[in-house]
Copies of this chain bind each other. A is one copy, B any other.
Amino acid sequence: MADQVDRILEQWQAEKPELDVSPMAVIGRLSRTALAVDSRLAVTFARYGLDASVFDVLATLLRSGAPYRVSPAALARDAMISSSAVAQRLNKLQSRGLVSRAANPDDGRGTLVALTEAGRRLIDAALAPHVETERTLIAGLSREEQATLVGLLQRISAAAAHDT
Protein backbone atom coordinates (compact mmCIF):
# COMPACT_ATOMS: atom_id res chain seq x y z
CA MET A 1 0.00 0.00 0.00
CA ALA A 2 1.85 3.02 -1.31
CA ASP A 3 1.34 6.19 0.69
CA GLN A 4 2.23 9.81 0.15
CA VAL A 5 5.83 9.31 1.23
CA ASP A 6 6.26 6.41 -1.18
CA ARG A 7 5.12 8.59 -4.06
CA ILE A 8 7.56 11.29 -3.05
CA LEU A 9 10.40 8.79 -2.99
CA GLU A 10 9.48 7.57 -6.46
CA GLN A 11 9.58 11.12 -7.76
CA TRP A 12 13.02 11.68 -6.33
CA GLN A 13 14.23 8.41 -7.76
CA ALA A 14 13.08 9.57 -11.21
CA GLU A 15 14.48 13.09 -10.95
CA LYS A 16 17.66 12.47 -8.94
CA PRO A 17 18.60 8.83 -9.50
CA GLU A 18 22.16 9.43 -8.32
CA LEU A 19 20.97 10.57 -4.86
CA ASP A 20 20.15 8.01 -2.18
CA VAL A 21 17.07 9.55 -0.61
CA SER A 22 16.27 6.58 1.63
CA PRO A 23 16.69 8.71 4.80
CA MET A 24 13.56 10.56 3.70
CA ALA A 25 11.59 7.36 4.06
CA VAL A 26 12.33 7.40 7.77
CA ILE A 27 12.53 11.09 8.64
CA GLY A 28 9.71 12.13 6.33
CA ARG A 29 7.39 9.54 7.74
CA LEU A 30 8.34 10.51 11.25
CA SER A 31 7.27 14.10 10.64
CA ARG A 32 4.07 13.16 8.89
CA THR A 33 3.14 10.62 11.53
CA ALA A 34 3.64 13.22 14.24
CA LEU A 35 1.39 15.64 12.36
CA ALA A 36 -1.32 13.04 11.89
CA VAL A 37 -1.14 12.12 15.57
CA ASP A 38 -1.36 15.76 16.63
CA SER A 39 -4.45 16.34 14.55
CA ARG A 40 -6.09 13.24 16.01
CA LEU A 41 -5.30 14.35 19.56
CA ALA A 42 -6.76 17.77 18.79
CA VAL A 43 -10.18 16.20 18.31
CA THR A 44 -10.26 14.98 21.89
CA PHE A 45 -8.87 18.25 23.24
CA ALA A 46 -11.58 20.17 21.42
CA ARG A 47 -14.28 18.23 23.26
CA TYR A 48 -13.09 19.97 26.42
CA GLY A 49 -12.52 23.41 24.94
CA LEU A 50 -8.77 22.79 24.93
CA ASP A 51 -5.96 22.61 22.45
CA ALA A 52 -2.63 20.87 22.80
CA SER A 53 -0.81 23.90 24.21
CA VAL A 54 -3.40 24.63 26.88
CA PHE A 55 -3.63 20.96 27.80
CA ASP A 56 0.14 20.89 28.13
CA VAL A 57 0.24 23.67 30.68
CA LEU A 58 -2.63 22.33 32.77
CA ALA A 59 -1.30 18.78 32.63
CA THR A 60 2.15 19.91 33.73
CA LEU A 61 0.62 21.64 36.71
CA LEU A 62 -1.49 18.61 37.59
CA ARG A 63 1.29 16.08 37.43
CA SER A 64 3.55 18.28 39.54
CA GLY A 65 1.34 17.13 42.44
CA ALA A 66 -0.22 19.13 45.27
CA PRO A 67 -0.17 22.07 45.76
CA TYR A 68 -0.01 22.27 41.96
CA ARG A 69 2.41 25.18 41.69
CA VAL A 70 5.08 25.49 39.01
CA SER A 71 7.30 28.33 37.82
CA PRO A 72 6.88 29.74 34.29
CA ALA A 73 10.49 28.78 33.61
CA ALA A 74 9.74 25.14 34.39
CA LEU A 75 6.68 25.26 32.13
CA ALA A 76 8.83 26.60 29.31
CA ARG A 77 11.43 23.86 29.70
CA ASP A 78 8.78 21.20 29.84
CA ALA A 79 6.84 22.38 26.79
CA MET A 80 10.00 23.20 24.84
CA ILE A 81 8.84 26.74 24.07
CA SER A 82 10.17 30.21 24.85
CA SER A 83 9.48 31.90 28.15
CA SER A 84 7.53 34.59 26.34
CA ALA A 85 5.24 31.98 24.82
CA VAL A 86 4.59 30.75 28.34
CA ALA A 87 3.79 34.27 29.54
CA GLN A 88 1.26 34.66 26.75
CA ARG A 89 -0.35 31.29 27.39
CA LEU A 90 -0.62 32.14 31.07
CA ASN A 91 -2.25 35.48 30.28
CA LYS A 92 -5.01 33.65 28.43
CA LEU A 93 -5.38 30.90 31.00
CA GLN A 94 -5.51 33.41 33.81
CA SER A 95 -8.24 35.41 32.12
CA ARG A 96 -10.19 32.18 31.67
CA GLY A 97 -9.80 31.56 35.38
CA LEU A 98 -7.92 28.28 34.97
CA VAL A 99 -4.65 29.29 36.58
CA SER A 100 -3.47 31.98 38.98
CA ARG A 101 -0.12 33.66 39.43
CA ALA A 102 1.52 34.54 42.74
CA ALA A 103 4.95 35.81 43.74
CA ASN A 104 7.44 33.15 44.74
CA PRO A 105 8.15 33.79 48.43
CA ASP A 106 11.61 32.25 48.12
CA ASP A 107 12.78 34.22 45.09
CA GLY A 108 11.88 37.84 44.51
CA ARG A 109 12.27 37.44 40.75
CA GLY A 110 10.06 34.41 40.52
CA THR A 111 6.40 33.69 39.98
CA LEU A 112 4.49 30.56 40.84
CA VAL A 113 1.63 29.45 38.64
CA ALA A 114 -1.13 27.48 40.31
CA LEU A 115 -4.14 25.54 39.07
CA THR A 116 -7.42 27.09 40.17
CA GLU A 117 -10.25 24.84 41.25
CA ALA A 118 -11.81 25.27 37.77
CA GLY A 119 -8.52 24.44 36.10
CA ARG A 120 -8.15 21.41 38.28
CA ARG A 121 -11.59 20.13 37.36
CA LEU A 122 -11.03 20.73 33.66
CA ILE A 123 -7.72 18.92 33.37
CA ASP A 124 -8.99 16.15 35.62
CA ALA A 125 -11.89 15.61 33.24
CA ALA A 126 -9.82 15.73 30.04
CA LEU A 127 -6.86 13.64 31.12
CA ALA A 128 -8.30 10.13 30.96
CA PRO A 129 -10.04 10.63 27.58
CA HIS A 130 -6.80 12.02 26.18
CA VAL A 131 -4.79 9.01 27.32
CA GLU A 132 -7.52 6.80 25.92
CA THR A 133 -7.14 8.48 22.51
CA GLU A 134 -3.40 7.89 22.65
CA ARG A 135 -4.07 4.28 23.53
CA THR A 136 -6.25 3.77 20.43
CA LEU A 137 -3.44 5.14 18.27
CA ILE A 138 -1.02 2.47 19.42
CA ALA A 139 -3.57 -0.28 19.94
CA GLY A 140 -2.32 -2.08 16.85
CA LEU A 141 1.16 -2.48 18.34
CA SER A 142 2.12 -5.21 20.76
CA ARG A 143 3.87 -4.28 23.99
CA GLU A 144 7.08 -5.49 22.47
CA GLU A 145 6.61 -3.40 19.34
CA GLN A 146 5.87 -0.37 21.46
CA ALA A 147 9.09 -0.89 23.35
CA THR A 148 11.01 -1.30 20.10
CA LEU A 149 9.52 1.91 18.73
CA VAL A 150 10.41 3.82 21.88
CA GLY A 151 13.97 2.59 21.67
CA LEU A 152 14.37 3.60 18.06
CA LEU A 153 12.86 7.04 18.67
CA GLN A 154 15.19 7.59 21.61
CA ARG A 155 18.19 6.88 19.43
CA ILE A 156 17.06 9.35 16.79
CA SER A 157 16.33 11.94 19.48
CA ALA A 158 19.80 11.48 20.87
CA ALA A 159 21.34 11.89 17.41
CA ALA A 160 19.30 15.06 16.82
CA ALA A 161 20.19 16.57 20.18
CA HIS A 162 23.85 15.63 19.85
CA ASP A 163 25.04 18.18 17.29
CA THR A 164 22.49 20.93 17.69
Contact = CB atoms under 8 A, between A and B. Distances in A.
Interface of A: 3-4, 8, 11-12, 14-16, 19-27, 29-41, 43, 62-65, 78, 80, 127-128, 131, 134-141, 145-146, 148-150, 152-161, 163-164
A30 B134 CA distance: 11
Nearest to A64: B11
B150 A136 contact: no
Contacts of A12: 63
11 contacts: A26-B141, A27-B137, A29-B150, A30-B33, A30-B34, A31-B37, A33-B156, A39-B164, A137-B156, A138-B156, A141-B155
A59 to B, nearest CB: 9
A152 B146 CA distance: 9
Nearest to A161: B36
A131 to B, nearest CB: 6
Contacts of A134: 23-24, 26-27
A80 B8 CA distance: 14
Contacts of A21: 131
A145 B159 CA distance: 15
A160 B161 CA distance: 27
Contact of A11 (B8, B65, B154): B65
B148 A152 contact: yes
A144 to B, nearest CB: 11
A18 B150 CA distance: 23
Among A37, A64, A140, A158, chain B packs the most CB atoms within 10 A around the CB of: A37
